[in-house]
Structure 1
Amino acid sequence: MTRTLVIGGARSGKSMHAEVLAMATGKPLVYIATAQASDAEMQARITHHRERRDDRWQTVEETLALGAAIQKYSKPDNVLLVDCLTVWLSNLLFSEDKEFPEIGIIDAPACFTEQRAAFLQALAQAPGDVILVTNEVGQGIVPQGAISRWFVDEAGRLNQAVAAACERAVLVVAGLPLTLKG
């Protein structure tokens, strides 16, 4: 059983690389999709990802309770591919209808801390291989708005926690993988 983090920027090739890693195991494939088709652009992204996967893949859609999905679907003889952690993070952070202040501390929704902890515990206890895809969002300019900085900070914290829990970590840039760990 191995845990692998595949990290990179938007359209870096990270999802494709993660799919290749998963298929190379020869094990049954479970794809946990975290995206919601909230607009036409996101629907197009989801369609693009779906079209790459053939009938070897079982697809599970889970937008919030990722830890529970990992617990349910991880088996010693399969591989889970979770795509993507930053989309899941934004689902959690913006799951409640509330007004965000323009300046000041932003409080995470009540479900955030609970779901993040459940996810990290499920990842640590998963009996099968798990490959996680995430965006590196902290290498650009510091965002101007408080909400954007909050998201970048939380994504960075999540990525650090996941990388620490994984045996392998791969950075993908321009479709080229660079092993960071393992």
Structure 2
Amino acid sequence: MALPRTLVLGGARSGKSTRAELMLASYPDALYVATSGTRDGDREWADRVRLHRERRPASWRTAETCDLEAVLADREDTAPVLIDCLALWLTAVMDEHGAWSDDSWHGGGEQAVQRRCEALAAAWAATRRPAVAVSNEVGMGVVPATAAGRRFRDTLGRLNMAVADASEQVLLVVAGQVLTVKAGAV
């Protein structure tokens, strides 16, 4: 059976990335797409990235990019793809459009971010590649104290819904335990 398009959701340190990696462990040619970028001088972040790299099979390729639409649309590369993660991708998109401030958000940033989210959801729905995406489930936590935090939470929630709608499988990881949210056809 072919690997279904799968969205793996969970909170911070829930085990979602590990679960996604296990789903692709039998594919020696998987492409791991890291959307985190680098954070110069942040030792704790560097340690997190190192641990992720050490966990992955040596045969996997890694691409550090936020051009997820192009990765998903690539018809030449048919290897399964693991995207980790949509929350960091959205952070980069919001950074790119300066969408954290109220002025930027209301001055065109919201529309620009929304267009990128729609393009990503469409690429996810259209991809022919076996694909697994990891994202943070942000709808169960505390309401963020800042407008920028609420903006991010709401936008990620809508992106997660769009990707989930176009997925055959949606999993929620809580304390390392996997709950099936959706199984079956789109």
TM-score, normalisation: structure 1: 0.87
Checking the alignment, whether the CA contact within 8 Å between 1:74 and 1:126 is kept in structure 2 is no
RMSD: 2.3
1:27 offset after TM fit, Å?
5.6
Q: Which amino acid aligns with 2:14?
A: S
d(CA) in 2 for partners of 1:42, 1:112? 25
Q: Which amino acid aligns with 1:17?
A: R
d(CA) in 1 for partners of 2:46, 2:107? 29
Residues 74 and 165 of structure 1, relative CA distance in 2, 3 Å threshold: farther
Secondary structure of 2:109's partner? Answer: coil
| Equivalent position of 2:165 in the other structure | 164
Superposition pairs of residues 25-174 of structure 1, within 5 angstroms = 26=27, 28-39=29-40, 40=42, 41-63=44-66, 65-72=67-74, 75-76=77-78, 78-97=79-98, 100-101=101-102, 107-108=108-109, 111-174=112-175
Question: Which runs of no fewer than 5 residues in structure 2 stay unpaired?
Answer: none
Percentage identity across paired residues of the two chains: 38
1:74 offset after TM fit, Å?
7.3
2:12 aligned to which of 5, 10, 34:
10
Checking the alignment, whether the CA contact within 8 Å between 1:30 and 1:57 is kept in structure 2 is yes
Q: Which amino acid aligns with 2:157?
A: G
d(CA) in 1 for partners of 2:69, 2:126? 10
Checking the alignment, whether the CA contact within 8 Å between 2:99 and 2:109 is kept in structure 1 is no
Checking the alignment, whether the CA contact within 8 Å between 2:34 and 2:63 is kept in structure 1 is yes
d(CA) in 2 for partners of 1:74, 1:156? 31
| Equivalent position of 2:24 in the other structure | 22
1:121 offset after TM fit, Å?
2.0
Residue correspondences, number: 178
Q: Which moved more, 1:159-168 or 1:31-40?
A: 31-40
Question: Which runs of no fewer than 5 residues in structure 1 stay unpaired?
Answer: none
Cα shift readout 1:124-155 (whole Å, capped 9, x = no counterpart): 12112100000011211111110000000001
Q: Which amino acid aligns with 2:7?
A: L
Secondary structure of 1:81's partner? Answer: strand
Residues 55 and 73 of structure 1, relative CA distance in 2, 3 Å threshold: farther
Secondary structure of 1:166's partner? Answer: coil
Cα shift readout 1:99-140 (whole Å, capped 9, x = no counterpart): 7139x9575266423322322222112112100000011211
Is 2:171 aligned against 1:177?
no
TM-score, normalisation: structure 2: 0.85
Secondary structure of 2:25's partner? Answer: helix
